[in-house]
Amino acid sequence: MKIHVLKGFIQNIFLVEYPDKCMLLDGCSKADFSTLADFFERSLKRPLSDLKVVVVTHMHPDHAGCALFLRHKTGCKIVSCDKQTQWYSGLKGRLAHLIDIALALWVAGKMNRPKKNIWYPPHLRPDIALSDQQTIPGFEEWQVFETPGHTDRDLSVMHMPSKRIYIADLIVRVKGKLSPPFPVYKPKQYKQSLLKLQALQTRSVMMAHVGELSLTDSDFAYLLSKAPLKPKTNKLAIQKMIKSKLFKTRLQS
């Protein structure tokens, strides 16, 4: 088993390769399809149809954006969290979907990425819905763990023999330091997820926006100290920004 790390549109792509099959540890961005197709053809020398499973850890554009397109192109199975509701449900959900796409494009601009279409459907119906500690069919060495907080349905995926775990956006890096992500919708669950990750005593942690590192107890202590006590969401950030601008306008008038 090999794990390849590819440079995605705004995130790292972790691709698991076996002699007879491959699995993506996340659903990437819609802009990453050509990167994946080229890697299979030029580096792996195997057809893209060898991709048998795509995990979607949560519904943000850089983690779910290419999943449905890959299923259409390859017939792969989509694995995700066992939730009865859609993350982007209702009118507010559709608005949040648009905001998240806009924020992903903003991040891409900050990273000097070329402009690309990253539109993807807001709803996902996985082929396989898994709950905490279940294994991935066809890839039984891999076990999923529910690690919510960033959203209500975040999954982490661990290779049990090697104790290497992919945690998507559970931890990011801000100004050179490991940090909780933005947004955090469920702060209490976020802290519980950090503690769960620490208790797993993994050999290394693969992060979508950091890379692969071995985390120490001091790293976890720092992250727990920085974990928000209240929700930090896009909606609240926008409301705060508007209030701040209105306040400055009043002071200047």
Contact criterion met (CB below 8 Å) for 6 and 35: yes
Is a pLDDT exceeding 70 seen at residue 244?
no
Q: Supply the pTM of this predicted model.
A: 0.93
**Across residues 156-171, what is the average pLDDT?**
98
CA 94: distance to chain centroid? Answer: 19
% of the chain at pLDDT higher than 90: 92
Asked which of 71-80, 116-125, 235-244 is least confident by mean pLDDT, the reply is 235-244
Is a pLDDT exceeding 80 seen at residue 229?
yes
**What does the block give as tokens for 36?**
């994946």
Q: Using the 8-state DSSP alphabet, how is residue 91 labeled? A: H
Where do we find the tokens 């690309």? Answer: 116
Query: Mean pLDDT of all residues in the chain?
Result: 94
Is a pLDDT exceeding 80 seen at residue 248?
no
Give 140-163 pLDDT, tens digit per residue: 999 999 999 999 999 999 999 999
**What is the predicted pLDDT for the residue at 235?**
65
**What does the block give as tokens for 23?**
């699995």
**What is the predicted pLDDT for the residue at 236?**
53
Give 93-105 pLDDT, tens digit per residue: 999 999 999 999 9
% of the chain at pLDDT higher than 70: 92
